[in-house]
């Protein structure tokens, strides 16, 4: 790729059934570009978990995807309630998701741990009452 | 085996045929979508009782070969339309998860 490609997605916060559309879109684009399947899977999982988190906790947000020849950089920004204890939130099984979300098969406290597991680098910046920004890199 | 082989076996009701030449190489049983998202294998047949739109999103993102809804669970017509658009094979069965998975395993 000669130059970096950037895609921006607005994630709606009120429609849980549509969560995943942005991730699917990115997945298709990466496939068309001939990106390695393993890297596509990592991006799809990490981004989908982030997308779901935004819908469950933050009433939506924006996701920016920057694709360069050797890296995929994801920035997930929301203006939700923020994460009070990031260390706790990173623990597998810890969840603050409401019951209705759990009944749909989510909210098992796997979101952030999965994002960390499937990205090569992840940082979380969060201020309670202001919002959360998660950045992730998946190397190609 | 392929999706077509599973359709022809008559074991389950084929609701959406999907890409019938897709291979099934593994079986995966899970109802928690967060776990399925990180563990569902490519070319897997996913047996679950979680039949909602997000199941389809996870199936599409993980490249599993088909969804088998056990225990008589079904998708809504709207969700099935989405499965057709995404070309995801969907089967349904009144069998419990274990029996459904075992039946597929015996065909592999």
Q: Where does residue A34 fall: left (phi above 0), alpha (psi -120 to 50 degrees), or beta otherwise?
A: left
Tally of CB atoms within 10 A around A10: 10
Q: What is the CATH number of the domain that holds B11?
A: 3.40.1390.20
Average pLDDT, chain B: 96
pLDDT at B52: 93
* Structural domain range at position B94: 3-107
> pLDDT at residue A79 above 90?
yes
Model pLDDT, residue B49 = 97
Would you say residue A104 has pLDDT above 80? yes
**Structural domains of chain A, with CATH:** 5-139 (3.30.565.10)
Question: CB–CB of B54 and A111 under 8 A?
Answer: no
Distance from the A110 Cα atom to the nearest Cα atom in chain B, whole angstroms: 6
- The verdict on a CB contact (< 8 Å) between B42 and A20 is no
Contact A49 B34 (CB under 8 A): yes
Q: What is the pLDDT of residues A20-38, one digit of tens each?
A: 999 999 999 999 999 999 9
* Contact (CB<8Å) B54/A105: yes
Q: What is the largest CA-CA distance in chain A?
A: 47
| A23–B50 C-beta distance less than 8 A | no
Task: Give the residue-averaged pLDDT of A6-21.
Answer: 90
- Number of domains into which chain B is organized: 1
The three-class DSSP label of residue B1 is coil
Quick check: B25 pLDDT over 80?
Answer: yes
Q: Is the pLDDT of residue A100 over 80?
A: yes
Q: pLDDT-based confidence at A2, cuts 50/70/90?
A: low
Rounded average pLDDT over A75-99: 94
Mutate to test the interface with A, among B31, B34, B67 (most CBs of A within 10 A): B34
Pairwise CB contact (< 8 Å): A45 & B62: yes
Task: Check residue B34 and give its pLDDT.
Answer: 85
Greater pLDDT, A100 or B93: B93
For B51, the token pair is: 């039949």
Cα distance between residue B15 and residue B89, in whole Å: 8
Q: What is the ipTM of this complex?
A: 0.81
Q: Tell me the average pLDDT across A44-54.
A: 94
Q: How many CB pairs under 8 A join A and B?
A: 71
pLDDT tens per residue, range B44-95? 999 999 999 999 999 999 999 999 999 999 999 999 999 999 999 999 999 9
Average pLDDT, chain A: 93
B23-38 average pLDDT score: 94
Contacts of B31 (CB under 8 A, 6+ apart): A105, B48, B49, B50
CA B15 vs. chain centroid, Å, equals 10
Chain A residues lying within 8 Å of B37, measured CB to CB: 45, 48-49, 110, 114
Contact A16 B54 (CB under 8 A): yes
Give the minimum alpha-carbon distance from B80 to chain A in angstroms, rounded to a whole number: 13
How close does chain B come to A115, measured CA to CA in Å? 9
């Amino acid at each position: 790729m000669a130059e970096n490609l950037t895609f921006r997605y607005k994630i709606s916060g009120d429609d849980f059934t549509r969560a995943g559309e942005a991730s699917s879109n990115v997945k298709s684009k990466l496939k068309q570009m001939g990106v390695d399947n393993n890297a596509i899977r990592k991006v799809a999982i990490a981004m989908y978990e982030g997308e779901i988190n935004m819908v469950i906790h933050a009433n939506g947000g924006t996701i920016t995807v920057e694709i360069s020849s050797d890296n995929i950089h994801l920035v997930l920004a929301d203006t939700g309630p923020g994460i009070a204890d990031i260390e706790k939130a990173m623990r597998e099984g810890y969840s603050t998701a409401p019951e209705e979300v759990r009944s749909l098969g989510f909210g098992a406290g796997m979101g952030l741990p999965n994002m960390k597991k499937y990205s090569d680098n992840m940082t979380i910046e969060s201020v309670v009452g202001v919002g959360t920004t998660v950045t992730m890199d998946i190397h190609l | 085996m392929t999706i077509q082989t599973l359709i022809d076996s008559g074991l389950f009701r084929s609701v959406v045929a999907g890409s019938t030449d897709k291979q099934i190489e593994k079986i995966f049983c899970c109802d928690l979508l967060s776990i399925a998202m990180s563990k569902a294998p490519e070319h897997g047949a996913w047996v679950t009782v979680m039949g909602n739109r997000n199941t389809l999103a996870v199936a599409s993102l993980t490249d599993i070969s088909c969804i088998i809804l056990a225990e008589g669970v079904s998708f809504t017509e709207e969700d099935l339309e989405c499965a057709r658009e995404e070309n995801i094979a969907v089967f349904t069965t009144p069998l419990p998860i274990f029996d459904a998975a075992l039946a597929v395993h015996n065909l592999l």
